[in-house]
A = this chain, B = another copy of it.
């Protein structure tokens, strides 16, 4: 079987836990060696890459263990991308992104190109 190629799209911070859970279930179900998956964050969702240290003070606990979950998934082969337009709009410095996150010129272009290359699109 060819690898299952998937793009997860997230543009709302509140959906991170759901995205990470979905990605984790996907890896567990199909096996790390059989997937080619990337999580593309644009819009307000990119802020979560920088709020990780504030996780413990989040009243909603939405960011609880966010960094650990992302980091673990990245070690299982899931790639993370951040839209540069969104970073600029939120005055965020891409040099300060977690090491496992790659900045892309435009999240929408990344998603469109990957689908043209045969990736499935999932919006958790």
Binding site for B on A (CB under 8 A): 2, 4-6, 9, 11, 18, 22-23, 25-26, 28-30, 42-43, 83, 85, 105-109, 111-113, 115-116, 118, 120-124
Contacts and interface: CB of A to CB of B under 8 A. Distances in A.
When all copies of this chain in the complex are counted, the total is: 3
Closest 3 CB pairs of A and B: A115-B120, A29-B106, A26-B108
Nearest to A29: B106
Nearest to A2: B116
Contacts of A5: 112, 116
A23 B112 CA distance: 11
Contact of A121 (B28, B109, B120): B120
A109 B22 contact: no
A120 B124 contact: no
Contact of A122 (B2, B28, B111, B118): B111
A32 to B, nearest CB: 13
